[in-house]
Amino acid sequence: MSYDERSQILGACTASANSALPTTIVGLHGYTQLGIPPEKLVLGLPWYGYDYPCLSLTDDSVCTIPKVPFRGVNCSDAAGTQRPYNEIVRLIQASVSFVQWNASLESPFFNYRATSGEYHQVWFDDTESLSLKYDYAARVGLYGLAFWNIDSLDYNGTQYDDFLTREMWETILVFFDV
């Protein structure tokens, strides 16, 4: 399972990637170090993200989030709201936000201002961040991929929605092309 990796936030209470590639790699390495062969592993990936309300938002896009304790730590992803990919795309369009890329986490995110005036930061996975994980899974010889959840796409929408849905499914081919 390479999602909800921010369930327990150690350190500063800030918004961050739901499924960062470096964290995914460390997690998979942990299983193989236990002696589980890669060809017996299926990598679960998110087709959703988290929308965090920011208590403060710095000029360099650090979003401080409310403390929501979970299993002994002060912060968790419960400070945010889980949003399916199709909602995130609509939010980007509606808020006229531009998507930023965090190079160290290999994940996209964007900031927007809600009608209440409150700033939010949304971290999610798209075809670019997912293709990096699909490629890694193929290179290390994992058995397959799984997705939470496939109804995060819009299957009955506009031509643009159809394009995005097709793009998400076609990106899976990266796993088979290595």
**Closest among 153, 175, 120 to 46, alpha carbons compared:** 153
What's the gap between Cα 152 and its chain centre?
12
The pLDDT of residue 132 is 97
Mean pLDDT of 13-31: 95
Beta bridge partners of 122: 51, 110
pLDDT band at 69 (very low <50, low <70, confident <90, very high): confident
The pLDDT of residue 7 is 77
Mean pLDDT of 146-174: 88
For 107, other C-beta atoms within 10 Å of its C-beta total 25
Q: 97-122, pLDDT tens digit by residue?
A: 789 999 999 999 999 999 999 999 99
Hey, what domains does the chain have and what are their CATH numbers? 21-177 (3.10.50.10)
Q: 35-62, pLDDT tens digit by residue?
A: 999 999 999 999 999 999 999 999 999 9
Report how far residue 107's alpha carbon sits from residue 46's, in angstroms, rounded to the nearest whole number: 12
